[in-house]
Amino acid sequence: MRIRVRGTRRLAAVLAAGTLAVLGLNGPAADASPQSYVAMGDSYSAGSGILPLDPDASLLCVRSTADYPHVLAARAGLALTDVTCGGAETKDFAGSQYPGVAPQLDALSSSTGLVTMTIGGNDNNTFIDAILACGSAGVATLGFGHPCQSLYGSSFDDQVDTGTYQALKSAFAAVRAKAPNARVAVLGYPWIVPAAAVPGCFAKLPIASGDVPYLRDLQTHLNSAVRRAAAATGATYVDVSGVSEGHDACQPIGTRWIEPILFGTNFVPVHPNALGESRLADRTAAVLGLS
């Protein structure tokens, strides 16, 4: 009797497939598509001042391909849409920051899986004004005393409380509404100045010795507002205060994550360098379980 091998093989294949289906063992699944990742935020997110520049970004955004979103996406295998932009405020999430630059919220959708951002430092020009004001005051007193604190007192902290905090909450809520299925991670700002003045720093960062802790306290206050706004809107706060300790703008090249005002390596001062952006990616990956 002639055996019909072809039919037998087909029957065996069907039976095997059925058995695997019953057991829930359908063989190796096809590779899943990379998770959709949207990076939002300001110059600390954009790596402004670090070369090379991102050719997909407006030159006005001064976005780098070495920013922490690019580093994180490459490391974790994420599908990155980077809409970070130097100088961004919370209002630029819903509005166009520059001609031809779409609102950052436009990059989000229900399919977005991860969102990261650093934002809030430019609102009300609070931190920019503080750095400039304290730098000018420090030069005027040759680095002695606390002229900035004497002139401005609690005014910068007050701006954070009365304006920035509410703006942050509204911005984070808008992100949640546009990307309801995403995990949202909000980074704090890494330390710009040390806890107290250190010898030799005034030449690079002309802040009076008594105003160094004043600026440090202001940054603590800003980060606290970011953390509270994240908690109020269900976002994950990525605290970088611990890991950035000892890597402020007063430290030498190779140690510092933030470049000083003078004699720095970035063309945008008082911003993270490539090492800083990489370390911010490390910290974000660790908090989110992506490392």
**Residues identified as active-site:** 43, 271
Alpha-carbon gap, residue 288 to 291, rounded angstroms: 8
Structure-block tokens of residue 111: 């399919």
CB of 116 closer than 8 Å to CB of 40: yes
Q: Among residues 95, 158, 93, which one has the least CA distance to residue 119?
A: 93
DSSP 8-state code for residue 179:
-
- The two beta strands, 236-238 and 36-41, are unpaired
In terms of Cα–Cα distance, which of 281, 239, 222 is closest to 257? 281
Name the H helices within the chain: 5-23, 43-46, 68-76, 126-140, 147-152, 155-159, 165-178, 212-232, 274-288
